[in-house]
Amino acid sequence: MTLSTDADTARFGALPDRPGKIIAVHLSYASRADQRGRRPAAPSYFFKPSSSVASSGGTIERPAGTELLAFEGEIALVVGSPARRVTVADAWEHVAWVTAADDFGLYDLRANDKGSNVRSKGGDGFTPIGPELIDARAVDPGALRVRTWVNGTLAQDDTTAGLIFPLAQLVADLSQHVTLEPGDVILTGTPAGSSVVVPGDVVEVEVDAPGTGLTSGRLVTTVTQGTASFDPLIGSLPSVDDTQRAEAWGSAEAAGLSSAESPVLDPVLRDKLLRVPVAGLSAQLRKRGLNNVTIDGVQPMHPGTKIVGTAKTLRFVPGREDLFQSHGGGYNAQKRAFDTVGEGEIIVIEARGETGSGTLGDVLALRALTRKAAGIVTDGGVRDHDAVAEIGIPVFSAGAHPAVLGRKHVPWEHDVTIGCGGTTVQPGDIIVGDGDGVIVLPPALAAEVADAALAQEDEDAYVAEQVRAGHPVDGLFPMNAEWKARYDAWRRTR
């Protein structure tokens, strides 16, 4: 005997009863198929438990240790009369109501049951439905619209005219295999625009029949952060890779896995910059009116380190608990920056000179090394300092600190203009660092400055040679006309 509760009444309030079956379509909209790069020849399905149903105004929990909770706004069909081996022409007669649904999925759990989606889509609260039912007799199944908003911004907008498989075909096809019973729910697939949401986000889905005034109303769900972890002694743990990230976010670009081509440093220019000291570059930039180009307060982790590369920027904002909850977990800006740094790039981190926590640790340093980054510069601290040093990637920082990122920072965005160590750094700026510190070269001036600095190095070497021979510095440093003539003659012999 099934005992109904007040909680059941609230959860299934938008439906005539607790559904016996919830059947969902894997892929049905052309826009989504094009996004995924595959178009099925026939529909395929999976089941969701009725225990996953939730009502409008409820919450969905992103489990601890996961990052890829994705929304999917959908049109839900509620069966009104039994359907067994019905034709496409008759199928719509067995649908009583239409409403909105959100087929939430946790991509972190797809690895071991992809296709069945038992774990990834069956969680409590993973199927909000409602809030109002639309009479199926009053609408054209080929002219329904589904829209989804995230935090008030429209994310999905499509109509059933964009379906690969019409709604009636889905009903008829399913009836070939199982008897559709009154109260059963069919989730008819999601269009392009599905993406990842994080704790604090509010997702709204609405289904309507434009021009008729008939609407489901907005189905509202708020994402919260869970605290319970999965037990590794019972089942497999969450796991993700870049393929899952791209599918969850909707594209590699949205997931931060690919970005615009970063400027490639000319090998000849790079060789020159490796030979010239930062102090020489600083002097040449000063001659050209650029004084605020040094990243102050940072020192190399390994004495004698020299770095040259183009900037890939990462920005942290001051720590605030609610913002860290929404932006600090999962596949955040920090992880995306380290996952997408290119060969020869230097990750430059804006930490506002705040040294009260780490801004990276050994795992991210290792990731940067495997991506062949040229180095890391942060005006904040480094956690796991000895382990990072052992990894060997060049790091310039404000020192070591044992605390985790969230103590002082929220990872906010990457590939934007930032401020690091008191100077502005833009993506693609040329970064050069040595024992004197780190300097930022505007790309348009880099070749000119490098050549001038190398020329100055030759002159300084000549001056040092003369001082070593016993000459006084008066008139030699800087050189007067007489010494300049001697220097020019010396150069012609070399």
Judge whether 361 is annotated as a binding position.
yes
Note whether 132 and 68 are within 8 A (CB): no
Q: Quote the longest CA-to-CA distance of the chain.
A: 108
The letter for the amino acid at 54 is: A
Q: For the chain, first and last CA: distance in Å?
A: 100
Is residue 312 within 8 Å of 265, Cβ to Cβ?
no
C-alpha to C-alpha distance for 30 and 172, rounded to whole angstroms:
20
Token couple for 179: 């008897």
The structure tokens listed for 44 are: 């395929």
Q: Which DSSP helix (H) or strand (E) runs through 482? A: helix 481-492
Overall residue count recorded for the chain in this entry: 494
Sign of CA dihedral 48, 54, 58, 63: negative
Beta-strand pair 395-397/375-378? parallel
The answer to whether 467 and 483 have CB atoms below 8 angstroms apart is no
Instruction: Give the CA dihedral 193, 198, 199, 205, nearest 10 degrees.
Output: 10
- How far apart (Å, rounded) are the C-alpha atoms in residues 233 and 257? 32
- Is 362 marked as binding a ligand? yes
Please give the Cα distance from 317 to 38 (Å, whole number): 40
The answer to whether the CB of 274 falls within 8 A of the CB of 267 is: no
**Dihedral angle over CA of 167, 169, 174, 177, nearest 10:** 180
Calculate the alpha carbon distances from 160 to 42, 77, 164, 208, 466 in Å.
Answer: 17, 13, 9, 11, 85
- Of 331, 284, 311, the closest CA to residue 396 belongs to 311
Which residues lie across from 54 on neighbouring strands? 128
Those residues whose C-beta lies under 8 Å from the C-beta of residue 464, and which sit 6 or more positions away, are none
Beta bridge partners of 159: 145
339 among annotated binding-site residues: no
Report helix angle 481-492 to 443-468, nearest 10.
100
CA 169 to chain centre: 37
Which residue numbers belong to the known binding site for substrate? 361-364, 383
Which residue numbers belong to the known binding site? 361-364, 383-384
Which residue numbers belong to the known binding site for Mg(2+)? 384
